[in-house]
Amino acid sequence: MSVATPVIEEPEDDAVRNYLFVALSALLVVVLVLMRNASGNLLVLIGIVPALLGLFLRWTAMPGVFLLTLTYLQLFPSGLPVQLDAKYVTIAVPFRMHDFLLLGATVVYFVCQFRLFSLTVQAVPSDRLPIKQKATDRPIRRNTRSVNADELYRLFFVVTACVVVAQAVWLVLTIVVIEPSVFPPIRFVSPNSASAEFNTDAGSLNRFLFLVGVVGSSGLAGGFLFWYRGLQRMPVDHARLFLLDTAWRETRSELSRQEKWRAWGQGTFHAVSGRNPEQGPGTLVVVAVFIALFLLALLFGSVLIYAIF
Amino acid sequence: MTLRGWWFLFVVAVITWAGVLWLGRWSVSIPLLGLALSVWFATEWVLFQHRFLNAADQLRVDRTLMQGGRVVPSVWVGAPFTVRLTVTSTGSSLLPFVVITDRLPADFSLEDDANQRDFALLPGEPVVLEYTLKADAPGVLRFEGVTVRVADLAGFFYRRIFLRLPESFLILPPLTDEEGRQRTHKRFNTLPPPGVHRLRRPGSGDELLDLREYRPGDPPKMIAWKPSARRDKIIVKEIESDVPVRCVLFLDASNGARVGMPGQTPVIRHVEIGAAIAQAATANRDLVGLTIFDEQTADVLKPARTKLHIIQMLRKFTHAAAELPDPLQTDADLLARYSHPIAQELYPDLLRREINSRPLGLFWLPIVDSRWLWLMMALLLSPLLFAFRGVLETLANIASIFAPPGKTWMLMAAFAVLPGVLAWWVWFVHGIRGLLPPRAGRTSRRKQLCALFAVLDDAGPAAIERLRNDDAAFAKRTTAFLRHHQTRLPLVMFDRDGAYRFRNPEKVVILANALTQSVGRARDNELYIILADLLELGADIQPLVNAAKVARARHHQVLVILPWPPDVPAPNAQVPKATQDDAKIATVVQSVLIARYHRNFAALRSALAKSGATVVRVDSGDPVRLVLERLDQLRGARIRR
């Protein structure tokens, strides 16, 4: 049992330091992999500058910038833009060691970076819209006391699993061929023959379609499962309101008509029609405006016909 | 999903799709990078959904109030108390990051957000949130529930739920120390012991009342031997009767008495005074009764002096002080604007679109409910005018002027078609306005609230439509909803004619009847203390004057304690008069209102003084001390009835 005390804690403590050091270590690995790809070119160090800005200055846009920079450095390892066509990949082999290192280190960095944001910047969105926020509103940060000691261990397990799954998905993407004209429309090929078709447009499209199918079906299945689980756990008052609302939607027109008749009987029909005599112009003004509009339309139509003919 | 989550997903999705479709040809690491981050994101989503569904709605919350180191069922004004909230997850999953915020009762605030804390919730392991509050006025402490924000550690996903746990605790008026309020100086040399006063009737007291001849049946111990010897016949003593001093409080709990700043309303000030009087009088062993009246009824608590009676009185005082004023507001839209944020805060789950729908047809304004229908009908039927030769010839002449020769029929056709087009345009413009702000927001808010009220009232779908269409019913239900959740509404104090809207003249009749009934029930001389706001009543005070006369005729005493606003100077103080040079209208209005207040006070005091009642202001000296002195006078007076 833990007891909360009304003391505002500063986030600078062990939990923050641990995440910071792990993220820096991950960035070091990223730098080493990038330098290996660039044959020791120190220009790749620029690539981790956004990540460092995110870590030390807590700029929340920096992880995205870092990801884009990393992508750029994968395309142009030396950091300088060169002709792309000359550097086609000849073989799509998954489970390479430097991919493992790069992916693992990158994901570790992102995990640490976003958890640091939760600890130091903001953990949950504000209840008010940004334009409606008051100066006294303080962002809700994660309390460092609630950081479990085994979070980091679990982080490494999760990251390792993610990297392995990503490699496996990539492997499947490269060996699956979709041919709608034959049955079955999906067939597997050996990795060698897959590498031969890797750089063709058909191969790219094949991978793309298969990935769309996998993501779509997984998302639908997951969404359906959670939706069904939510229905199973629906509280009583939710279920009652759901039924009530459905009944109201089905009988709305009849009920509305009854209410209008009742209002007519009570002489309070203006309340039903939503007309508030204290708001907006009077009926006479509105009718006059409409008559004027009608005459204008008449005149416009006449002029138009005259101009045409 | 949070904004952070959407941005991350967008960047990762772009890189993944671009890598798979195009960039992967040059570097396999790019799609792998995208895929790895996508898998991590999907893992976080699955974990968050699983944890939320298995734990977030299975939180058990227990709240206790502690004062002086022990759990209490009610708290006292002015004494700090600790709110202890224990949250236990009965689900099967760990919630790594939960922010728990206990919603503070109305009129309470904390600067350091001590009522909010984040935890990692393990199944079956309770967490405790503690914070300290202090009540400044008697009333009811109503806790609505707990806001629970659940998020993942990276801040990609977030859900906010509200665990409704309505609980009410009484804030009892300040407990007066028994010695503090007792009399400190003796004004009468022949005061009887506390709790009694002498009544000149034969009884079983201590003081000699009279001597009389012996009657068969008189106890021998009452024989006065010396007078018997002197007169040579048996004379017996008659002893005075000792009766308790009784005091009855009449508390005004009408709507007008609840108007004022939070914690400074007349009823709260009266409750504080009444509670002090009751406790002090009970400490003097005097009997105290209570009658709480409003515009409709009077609730009577017979005089007694037990501790249980005092606790019961304090509870009644507290309930009277806790009531919020009925704003007498009939603007349905205004009420909806006030109640919708409360509903969103307390019932966010019941306002969700999935179960509280707003179909598109709801927003369309039907033209049949409007007077525009007549215009539309006129436009649609206007081509029938062509049946009249005169109209047809006139239009033909007009057409011949504007149209080229031989093409007149086209202009005539336009004359026939244009009104219809215009009619449908009127229909469309009229209907589409319902989908535009501010009507759309208004309609949406009202439908959500109506469905919510129908569920809370356990009513059917007809209730939704009734509340949606009937402004009066909606205003009544919304006002009840807001008062139930202790939400204050802006009050309009004066009507268009300048009359005070919270006079409540009906309460005078109720008060007068209650006073007369108390006189009828009285056994001996009593003190009636009226704690009421009577200043705005003017001539309507007459029933009370008559009742006071009845009480005085029976040798009772009547004391009226009136509330006095803190920003109004005392009647004998110098009031700055507004001059013509004073440009501020507020100053002029204030001076006029103060003068009116003083005038009303003088008139009321004069009217009640004629009946023998004493009128004092709350802020004039110590009303409690004055009441105790009156009780002493009653105790010391040797009154024959």
Residue range A186-245, pLDDT digits in tens: 777 776 666 656 667 777 787 888 888 888 888 899 889 888 888 888 888 899 999 999
Residues of B in contact with A103 (CB under 8 A): 29, 32-33, 36
> In this predicted structure, what is the pLDDT of residue B203?
67
Instruction: State whether residue A208 sits within 8 Å of chain B by CB.
Output: yes
Contact A263 B415 (CB under 8 A): no
Q: Does A168 touch chain B (CB under 8 A)?
A: no
B113: alpha, beta or left, given left = phi > 0 and alpha = psi -120 to 50?
Answer: left
Residue B554: predicted pLDDT: 84
Structure-token match 């002086």, residue found: B68
Across chain B, how many H-helices and E-strands are there? Answer: 16, 18
Is-contact B303 B278, C-beta < 8 A?
Answer: no
Mutation target among B469, B471, B474 for the A interface, most CBs of A within 10 A: B469
Ranges in chain B, pLDDT < 50? 178-180, 183-188, 638-641
The pLDDT of residue B516 is: 92
Min Cα separation A137/chain B (Å) = 10
Least CB–CB distance from A170: residue in B35, B46, B120: B35
Give yes or no for a contact between B197 and B634, defined as CB atoms under 8 angstroms apart: yes
Position A7 scores a pLDDT of 45
User: In the 8-state DSSP scheme, what is residue B286?
Assistant: -
List A residues 133-152 in contact with B (Cβ-Cβ < 8 A): 138, 140, 142-143, 146-148, 151
Q: Per-residue pLDDT tens for A174-190?
A: 777 777 777 777 777 77
Question: What is the per-residue pLDDT across B366-397, written as a single tens digit (0 to 9) for each?
Answer: 888 777 888 888 888 888 887 788 888 888 88
pLDDT at B165: 87
Mean of per-residue pLDDT scores for chain A: 78
With contact defined as beta carbons under 8 Å apart, do A180 and A213 qualify? no
- The alpha carbon of residue A152 is apart from the nearest alpha carbon of chain B, in Å, by 12
* Partners of residue A222 in chain B, C-beta under 8 Å: 45-46, 49
CB A166 to CB B35 under 8 A? Answer: yes
**A&B contacts, CB < 8 Å:** 301
Summarised one tens digit per residue, pLDDT across range A36-89 is 877 767 777 888 888 888 888 888 888 888 888 888 888 787 777 765 555 555
pTM, to two decimals: 0.75
Predicted local distance difference test score (pLDDT) of residue A85: 53
Q: Show the tokens assigned to B206.
A: 């201590």
Q: How far apart are CA B411 and CA B140, in angstroms?
A: 76
| Cross-strand pairs, B402 | none
Nearest residue on chain B to A221, alpha-carbon basis: B46
Strands across the sheet containing B95-102: B74-76, B158-172, B139-151, B95-102, B116-121
What one-letter code names the amino acid at A200? T
pLDDT above 50 for A2: no
Residues of chain A found within 8 Å of residue B476, distances taken between Cβ atoms: none
Token pair recorded at residue A33: 């992999």
Tell me whether residue B435 is exposed, middle or buried, using C-beta atoms within 10 angstroms of its C-beta: 0 to 12, 13 to 18, 19 or more.
middle
Supply φ then ψ for residue B76, to 5 degrees.
Answer: -110, 150
b/e string for B113-134 if b means 16 or more Cβ within 10 A? ebbbbbbbbbeeebbbbbbebe
Q: What's the pLDDT score for residue A280?
A: 45
pLDDT at res. B94 = 83
Per-residue model confidence (pLDDT) at position A152? 83
A184 to chain B, closest Cα gap in Å:
23
Alpha carbon of residue A206 to chain centroid: 25
Q: Which of residues 15-74 of A touch B (CB under 8 A)?
A: 60, 63-64, 67-68, 70-71, 74
Which candidate from A74, A140, A290 shows the least CB-CB separation from B27? A74
Cα separation values, B135 from A248, B64, B109, B267, Å: 44, 16, 11, 16
Rounded mean pLDDT of A9-28?
Answer: 79
Q: What distance in Å separates residue B266's CA from the closest CA in chain A?
A: 33
Q: What is the pLDDT of residue B641?
A: 43
Question: Residues A137-162: what's their mean pLDDT?
Answer: 83
The residue of chain B nearest to residue A90, with distances taken between CA atoms, is B25
Measure CB to CB from residue B411 to each of A94, A151, A302 and give the nearest one: A302
Q: Three-state SS string across B79-146, please? A: CCEEEEEEEEECCCCCEEEEEEEECCCCCCCCCCCCCEEEEEECECCCEEEEEEECCCCCEEEEEEEE
